[in-house]
Amino acid sequence: MVGTVVIVGRPNVGKSTLFNRLIGRRHAIVDDTPGVTRDWREGAGNLAGLEFRIVDTAGLEEAFGDSMQARMRQHTERIVAEADLVIFLYDVRAGVTPLDEHFADWLRRCASPVVVVANKCEGRIDAARISEAYTLGLGDPVAISAEHNEGMGDLFSAIFAWIGEDDRSEESDEERETPPLQLAIVGRPNVGKSTLINKLIGEERLLTGPEAGLTRDAIAVDWSYNGESLRLVDTAGMRRRTRVSNDLERMSVEDAERAIRYAHVVVLVLDADMMLERQDLSIARKTIEEGRALVIAANKWDVVADKKKALGRLQDRLLTSLPQVRGIPFVTISALKGQNLENLMETVFSIYDAWNRRVPTARLNSWLGAAIEAHPPPMSSGHRIRLRYITQVKARPPTFAIWATRAKGLPDSYIRYLANRLRDEFDLEGIPLRLNLRQGRNPYAKDAGS
Domain span including residue 97: 4-167
Residue 46 half-sphere exposure toward CB, CA atoms < 13 A: 5
Q: 329 and 308 in one domain?
A: yes
3-state secondary structure of 152: helix
Q: 389 and 293 in one domain?
A: no
Q: With 90 as the cut, is the pLDDT of residue 27 above it?
A: no
CATH of the domain at 369: 3.30.300.20
Q: How far is 127 from 316, CA to CA, in rounded Å?
A: 69
On whether the CB atoms of residues 400 and 410 are closer than 8 A, the answer is no
pLDDT at 154: 83
Q: 52 and 28 in one domain?
A: yes
* pTM greater than 0.75 (yes/no): no
| Cis amide prior to 180 (ω within 30 degrees) | no
Residue that terminates a domain, selected from 327, 355, 383: 355
Residue that wins the pLDDT comparison between 341 and 73:
341
Q: How far is 107 from 97, CA to CA, in rounded Å?
A: 15
Number of domains in the chain: 3
Q: 230 and 108 in one domain?
A: no
pLDDT tens, residue by residue, 356-379: 999 999 999 999 999 999 999 988
SS (H, E, C) 22-53: HHCCCCCCCCCCCCCCCCCEEEEEEECCEEEE
Q: How wide is the angle at C-alpha 300 spanned by C-alphas 262 and 285, nearest 5°?
A: 35
On whether the CB atoms of residues 82 and 4 are closer than 8 A, the answer is yes
By the 10 Å C-beta count (0-12 exposed, 13-18 middle, 19+ buried), 124 is classed as: exposed
pLDDT tens, residue by residue, 128-180: 678 888 888 888 888 888 888 888 888 888 888 888 654 444 444 444 456 78
Is residue 446 domain-resident? Answer: no
Q: How far is 258 from 437, CA to CA, in rounded Å?
A: 29
330-332 β-sheet, strand order: 219-225, 228-234, 181-187, 265-271, 293-299, 330-332
* pLDDT band of 450, cuts 50, 70, 90: very low
Q: 221 and 111 in one domain?
A: no
Is residue 444 domain-resident? Answer: no
pLDDT at 337: 93
Is residue 448 domain-resident? Answer: no
Is residue 447 domain-resident? Answer: no
Strands (E) across 188-275 are located at: 219-225, 228-234, 265-271
Fill in the amino acid letter for 125: I
Is residue 58 domain-resident? Answer: yes
pLDDT at 274: 84
| Average pLDDT score, the chain | 81
Q: 31 and 114 in one domain?
A: yes
Q: With 70 as the cut, is the pLDDT of residue 217 above it?
A: no
